[in-house]
């Protein structure tokens, strides 16, 4: 009884946990906006890229797995042939890859209205990135922090020139909320 009340309850917006991206964005136009979505090759990132593209945004899918992202792109284009989606490689566990992605994005001269930091890994075995940072922390936090810093001037410039405020969205989860103590192997 309590579960059905809680899960069926709609918030002030009229949407609930079961609302789809299509329902939430119905009637909203993203035409003329450019968005970067990390982790857009599956899950929430793929659906976010799809929905933004269907609403008219030019979406840059920043992904580690290029073939998987190209498959998502092809599915979106089959649904909306005029959609604008580009796939660019980005490995957030590598600060060199983050810098290369940002440099390539800026060199393309694209505006940037929306940055959705969505990519993430969870419960990976302990491993250090090429930069000596624990892999999950590098991917989920440090890489996104650096990416945001490197793209911030482009976002500010876009906002000034278009008179449209930009948005940075950091997607997260409660996946680590049950961890009572952090235990790392000794060095």
Please say if the pLDDT value at position 1 is more than 60.
no
pLDDT value for 4:
53
**Better-predicted residue by pLDDT, 38 or 183:** 38
> Which CATH number applies to 40-170: 2.30.40.10, 3.30.800.10, 3.40.50.150, 3.40.50.720?
3.40.50.720
The pLDDT tens digits for 112-135 are 999 999 999 988 899 999 999 999
Percent of the chain's residues with pLDDT above 70: 88
What integer is the mean pLDDT of 26-55?
A: 97
Per-residue pLDDT for 7 more than 80? no
Q: What pLDDT shows up at residue 8? A: 65
pLDDT tops 90 at residue 40: yes
Distances (CA, A) of 29 to 51, 86, 87, 149, 175: 11, 19, 22, 27, 32
Mean of per-residue pLDDT scores for the chain? 91
For residue 104, report the phi and psi dihedrals to the nearest 5 degrees: -65, -40
pTM of the model: 0.88
Cα 182 to the chain's mean position, in Å?
A: 27
Token digits of residue 127: 């491993």
Res. 183 pLDDT band, cuts 50 70 90: low
Alpha-carbon gap, residue 77 to 71, rounded angstroms: 10
Domain layout of the chain by residue ranges: 40-170
For residues 33-50, average pLDDT: 97
Distances 128 to 62, 118, 137, 141, 187 between C-alpha atoms, Å: 22, 21, 10, 14, 11
pLDDT value for 3: 56
- CB-CB contact of 88 with 40 (8 Å): no
Give the mean pLDDT of 151-177.
91
């Amino acid at each position: 009884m309590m579960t059905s009340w809680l899960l069926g309850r709609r918030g002030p917006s009229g949407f609930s946990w079961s609302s789809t991206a299509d329902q939430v964005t119905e009637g909203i136009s993203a035409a003329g906006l450019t968005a970067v979505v990390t982790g857009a090759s599956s899950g929430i990132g793929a659906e976010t890229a799809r929905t933004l593209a269907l609403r008219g945004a030019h979406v840059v899918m920043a992904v580690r797995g290029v073939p998987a992202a190209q498959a998502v792109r092809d599915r979106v284009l089959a649904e909306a042939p005029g959609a604008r989606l580009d796939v660019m490689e980005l490995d957030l566990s590598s600060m060199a890859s983050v810098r290369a992605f940002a440099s390539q994005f800026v060199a393309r001269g694209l505006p940037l209205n929306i940055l959705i930091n969505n990519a993430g890994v969870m419960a990976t075995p302990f491993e250090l990135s090429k930069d000596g940072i624990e892999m999950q922390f590098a991917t989920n936090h440090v890489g996104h922090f650096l990416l945001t810093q490197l793209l911030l001037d482009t976002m500010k410039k876009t906002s000034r020139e278009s008179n449209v405020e930009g948005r940075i969205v950091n997607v997260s989860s409660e996946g680590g909320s049950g961890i009572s103590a952090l235990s790392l192997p000794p060095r």
